[in-house]
Amino acid sequence: MKLHLKIWRQHNREATGKFVQYTLSNVDPEMSFLEMLDVLNEQLIKNNQQPVEFDNDCREGICGSCGMVINGIAHGKQKLTAACQLHLRSFKDGETIIVEPWRAKAFPVIKDLVVDRSSLDRIMIAGGYVSVNTGAPPDANSLPIPKAESDRAFDYAACISCGACVAACPNASASLFTAAKISHLALLPQGDPERKLRVNRMTEQMAQEGFGDCSNHGECEAVCPKGISIDAIAMMRREYIKSQL
C-alpha cells in the first residue's frame, strides 16, 4: 500500500517546527505504525537526510513511550491501542496521515515527535509510592481485600504513563494519570497510612508542572490505551476533600 505522511519536524525546543511531507510506497498493511516509521527513517538515511526522532521501547503497549498524535487523535483512531500496536491495515491505501507530538506546556518538544515527559515522573516522586515498611511478603489472602476493590485497583494500576490523556485534554490536564496513581494506592491497605499526604503532594506537584485543570470533557478516557475510567478522577477529588477535613 501507499501512504502519504505529514510529520512534524522540529530540531529542538527553541526551534520553529513545521510539517514535512513524505511518501512511502509498497508498505505492508501488517506493519505496525512504528515499523512504518522505521522504513521511512531507513529511506531518509539512505538519502543523507535526518531521520525522524520518535520515542519507543517495548513496542508491546507496556512501556508507554510511543506517544504521538495520529490524525488528531492521541495514539490513533483504534481504541485501547498504543501507537506501537496500531497497524497500517487501519488506514486506507493512498491515505494522508498527519503525525505530531504531544502538545502541552508541561511536555516541551525535545526533537520532532519526542517530548519531555519528566513532569509525570516528578508527580510520581511527590507521592506515588508506599514508603511504609510493610515487612516480608504476607501469605496469600492474609490481607482481606474485597474483589471489587482489588479489581478497581488493578485497573488503575494499568496506567502506563504515556501522557495520551494530557495530549487529548483541551486543558492539557494530567488529572487522569494522577488520579489513577492516587486511586490505585488508596484502594489497597498498604497505601492507606499515607493516602492524605499522597493526594496533597501529587495534586500540588501536578499544578506546579503547569498542567491544566480537569473540566470533565472525557477526552482522556476516550484515548487511554488501557481504558482507565474517569471515575478515578472523581475518586481523587473525594480523596482530596477528605484530606482537607
Separation between Cα atoms, residue 73 and residue 68, nearest integer Å: 9
Q: How does pLDDT run along the chain (245 residues), one tens digit per residue? A: 999 999 999 999 999 999 999 999 999 999 999 999 999 999 999 999 999 999 999 999 999 999 999 999 999 999 999 999 999 999 999 999 999 999 999 999 999 999 999 999 999 999 999 987 767 777 767 778 899 999 999 999 999 999 999 999 999 999 999 999 999 999 998 899 999 999 999 999 999 999 999 999 999 999 999 999 999 999 999 999 999 98
Closest Cα to residue 163, out of 34, 79, 75? Answer: 75
pTM for this prediction: 0.94
> Which grid cell sits at 59?
513496542
pLDDT in tens, 61-96: 999 999 999 999 999 999 999 999 999 999 999 999
- In contact, 54 and 100? CB cutoff 8 Å: no
Q: Helix or strand or coil: residue 128?
A: coil
> Which grid cell sits at 24?
512511502
Separation between Cα atoms, residue 165 and residue 215, nearest integer Å: 13
Delineate the domains of the chain, giving CATH numbers in brackets. 3-110 (3.10.20.30), 117-244 (1.10.1060.10)
- In contact, 75 and 165? CB cutoff 8 Å: no
